[in-house]
Amino acid sequence: MIDENLIKEVDEAINNISTYDDLNDFRLKYLSKKGSITSLSSKMKELSNEEKREFGYCLNEFKNSVQSRLNAIKEKMDLEYLNKKLESEKIDITLPGTKITKGYIHPLNRVIEEVKEIFISMGYDVKSGPEVENDLYNFELLNIPKSHPARDMQDTFYINEEILLRSQTSPVQIRTMLENKDKTPIRIICPGKVYRRDNDDATHSHQFEQIEGLVVDKNISMADLKGTLEVAMNKLFGDGRKLRFRPSFFPFTEPSVEVDVSCFKCNGKGCNMCKKTGWIEILGAGMVHPNVLRNCGYDPDVYTGFAFGLGVERIAMLKYEINDIRDFYTNDLRFLSQFKYIEKSDDDASK
């Protein structure tokens, strides 16, 4: 009852299906609303009831057989597509992997972290300030006016008359006191980069790291400074360290001292590290100058304070026996990777 030619044509068309596009084209041509198979049902109305039943039956059979062949083709194509995809995404887990090497904490950051931890455990806050600084904060308010000879101690990079690259971390003291108005206590340390017009050599770098410390409150004395530094230096360089204060000069402290630590290599007997003196110069410190307190809104008759400044490179050079400051900045992996073996407390980061 169904046109033989159409059956043949459909059969051939199904046999020629090899892609998803072919499949869609076939559906469109034969099975869509106006497709040649679908439109066969319009014949119904011309038929008698008897014929209708028979034709309907044949048409259904035909449609079902076409549909089930299409389903089989689609299933096969889906499987092929999946297999191809799996094949292309296959990972050979027996191949050796690419080894990822972990970095190590830079020796300067190790020292900064260690010093931070020591002072945080004593209740200090960690502060930072801008590296591009005003002359006012870097010098003037620290009791170093424009013509003061102390400016020669720090050969500074100026951007213009008033703006410079900070030559010390001491301006963070000023910023903190100004921020706090006259509130106390202030207990801060400020690690950060500083810049000076030095020619780079084994012991000088035009950029280096300092850590500044500042405490301001009522009744702060030189004894507090000494006690604090004694605790810190014993933690940093190992138990049994003694401190020695030598008179010195900084414009922002009065009195000012240079602080030496008994040599942690020879325990004070005298060796190459301490140049046979038994002492190693570690930092500058002193009692905050009344002018500095006053400049920042603190009445020096009511408040006192101590301050200190240490060079991170110097400490790292001593601790790890490094004799060229430039090694910190040339990023030679042979140098840097040695620090993975140092100190148990950092093990996690250096594994």
List the structure tokens of 342: 């140092």
212 binds ligand DAH (CB under 6 A): yes
Interacting residue with ligand DAH among 195, 303, 308, 339 (CB under 6 A): 308
Three-state secondary-structure class, residue 329: coil
Residue closest to 187 by CA, chosen among 223, 216, 211: 216
Q: Maximum Cα–Cα distance for the chain, whole Å?
A: 126
Provide the minimum distance between the beta carbon of 160 and ligand DAH in the complex, in angstroms, as a whole number.
Answer: 22
The sign of the torsion formed by the CA atoms of 131, 133, 138, 141 equals negative
- Contacting range for ligand DAH; rule: CB under 6 A; set: 22-30, 230-238, 280-288, 324-332: 280-288
* Residue 307 is a binding residue for ligand DAH (CB under 6 A): yes
Q: How far, in Å, CA of 248 to CA of 257, rounded?
A: 5
Q: Is 205 in the site for ligand DAH (CB under 6 A)?
A: no
Q: Does 309 bind ligand DAH (CB under 6 A)?
A: yes
Is residue 168 at the binding interface for ligand DAH, with CB under 6 A as the rule?
A: yes
The SS3 assignment for 46 reads helix
Please identify which residue in 118, 232, 280, 285 interacts with ligand DAH, judged by CB under 6 A. Answer: 285
Among 104, 237, 250, 303, binds ligand DAH (CB under 6 A): 250
**Per CB under 6 A, 251 contacts ligand DAH:** no
User: Which residues does 277 contact at the CB level (< 8 Å), separation at least 6?
Assistant: 263, 270
Rounded CA gap, 276 and 268, in Å? 9
170 binds ligand DAH (CB under 6 A): yes
Interacting span for ligand DAH (CB under 6 A) from 5-13, 231-239, 284-292, 337-345:
284-292
CB of 281 to ligand DAH, least distance (A): 12
Among 72, 54, 55, which Cα is nearest to 14's? 72
Q: Which of 336, 295, 340 is nearest to 144 (CA)?
A: 295
**8 Å CB contact between 13 and 26:** yes
Rank residues 40 and 292 by Cβ distance to ligand DAH and give the closer one: 292
What does the block give as tokens for 174?
């000023």
Closest approach of Cβ 350 to ligand DAH, in Å?
Answer: 31
Nearer to ligand DAH, 69 or 226 (CB): 226
Q: Which two tokens stand for residue 350?
A: 């250096």
Per CB under 6 A, 286 contacts ligand DAH: yes
**Residues touching ligand DAH: how many (CB under 6 A)?**
11
Please report whether residue 262 would count as binding ligand DAH according to CB under 6 A: no
Q: Region of 168 please: left (phi>0), alpha (psi -120 to 50) or beta.
A: beta
Q: Measured from the CB of residue 311, what is the shortest distance to ligand DAH in angstroms?
A: 8
Q: Which is nearer to ligand DAH, 214 or 263 (CB)?
A: 214
Three-class HEC string of 27-91? HHHHHCCCCCCHHHHHHHHHCCHHHHHHHHHHHHHHHHHHHHHHHHHHHHHHHHHHHHHHHHCCC
The C-alpha atoms of residue 189 and residue 246 are separated, in whole angstroms, by 22
* Smallest distance, ligand DAH to C-beta of residue 306, A: 7
135 or 212: CB nearest ligand DAH: 212
Which residue lies nearer to ligand DAH by CB, 263 or 310?
Answer: 310
Q: Where are the alpha helices (DSSP H) in 217-258?
A: 222-237
306: its two tokens: 């101590």
Q: Does 107 bind ligand DAH (CB under 6 A)?
A: no
3-state secondary structure of 331: coil
User: Measured at CB, which residue is nearest to ligand DAH?
Assistant: 309
Rounded to a whole number of angstroms, the minimum distance from the CB of residue 332 to ligand DAH is 28
Residues that bind ligand DAH (CB under 6 A): 168, 170, 212, 250, 253, 284-286, 307-309
